[in-house]
């Protein structure tokens, strides 16, 4: 089954067209990364899939049903975490379940806090955490409500390279244990390749379109520490970069 389908989707903001005539399917349980130059509409696609905005043309379907309003089957992990500073780690993680009046919200919250390696920080506040720890809280916050789809907008871009690698490994571990569909936006082609089953390249904006889709045939499970040294990883990187480079250069020319 297809989890997310964009059919002839365009989105305009006044006189500016962010994306035009997007046709894209994301299979159930797949991990799909979207790459492209800055301003090409990657985040717009996520917001359309989340139901935070409506297409100007075309439509989005979720598990075969046309999306109208918020996508209740999706969780959203933003580039900047949305933790509440006046709530503890436990309070933030369990918040979604408490909104749903789940009777075991605290117990599930503590379980997820332990799963992401923060057992000793359940009573800490966001201001007391490192950037990587805050991302772990945000990840637990997203997964605890058990969404069928996880939308991720450059969630690790602000982290140092070592913390980023740990978070990517944590993400793959959680995804491998679940049937969730992940649509992951990133500027980093290496990150896209290391994580995904498929990489989608968007053109330079405005009126961005899907340039090409690439199946990532790297075996799973993946060792993210060593995967970048594998010959097949290098082949795929060079193949995709040929397309992506042209769009990046087009973006540079547009901004001159």
Examine the domain organization and report whether 62 and 24 are in the same domain: yes
Tell me the C-alpha distance between 209 and 34, whole Å. Answer: 12
Domain enclosing residue 171, as ranges: 2-73+148-255
Instruction: Give the pLDDT confidence of 15-49 residue by residue, as tens digits.
Output: 999 999 999 999 999 999 999 998 889 999 999 99
Q: Are 62 and 163 members of one domain?
A: yes
Report the number of distinct structural domains present in the chain. Answer: 2
Domain boundary among 95, 119, 146: 146
Strands (DSSP E) found in the chain:
2-13, 16-27, 31-35, 57-62, 65-66, 74-77, 149-153, 181-185, 198-202, 210-215
Report the DSSP beta bridge partners of residue 2.
27
Domain finish residue from 110, 130, 146: 146
21: exposed, middle or buried (Cβ count in 10 Å: 0-12, 13-18, 19+): middle
Domain boundary among 146, 171, 189: 146
Question: pLDDT for 42-69, tens place per residue?
Answer: 999 999 999 999 999 999 999 999 999 9
Are residues 164 and 139 part of one domain? no
The predicted-structure confidence for 157-202, as pLDDT tens digits, reads as follows: 878 888 889 889 989 998 998 889 999 999 999 999 999 999 999 9
What values do phi and psi take at 189, rounded to 5? -65, -35
CATH of the domain at 164: 3.40.50.300
């Amino acid at each position: 089954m297809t989890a997310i389908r964009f059919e002839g989707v365009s989105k305009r903001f006044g006189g500016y067209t962010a994306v035009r005539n997007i046709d894209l399917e994301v299979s159930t349980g797949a991990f799909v990364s979207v790459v492209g130059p800055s301003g090409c509409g990657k985040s717009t696609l996520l917001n359309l899939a989340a139901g935070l905005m409506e297409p100007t043309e075309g439509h989005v379907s979720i598990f075969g049903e046309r999306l109208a309003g918020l996508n209740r089957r999706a969780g959203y992990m933003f580039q900047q975490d949305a933790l509440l500073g006046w709530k503890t780690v436990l309070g933030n993680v369990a918040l979604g379940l408490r909104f749903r009046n789940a009777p075991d919200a605290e117990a599930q919250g503590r379980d997820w806090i332990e799963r992401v390696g923060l057992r000793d920080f359940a009573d800490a506040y966001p201001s007391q955490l490192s950037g990587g720890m805050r991302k772990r809280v945000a990840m637990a916050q997203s997964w605890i409500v058990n969404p069928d789809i996880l939308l991720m907008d450059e969630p690790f871009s602000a982290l140092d390279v070592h913390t980023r690698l740990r978070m990517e490994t944590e993400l793959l571990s959680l995804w491998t244990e679940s049937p969730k569909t992940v649509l992951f936006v990133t500027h980093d082609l290496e990150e896209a390749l290391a994580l995904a089953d498929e990489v989608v390249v968007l053109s330079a904006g405005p009126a961005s379109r899907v340039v090409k889709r690439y199946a990532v045939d790297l075996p799973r499970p993946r060792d993210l520490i060593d995967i970048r040294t594998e010959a097949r990883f290098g082949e795929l990187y060079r193949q995709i970069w040929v397309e992506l480079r042209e769009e990046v250069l087009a973006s540079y020319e547009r901004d001159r």
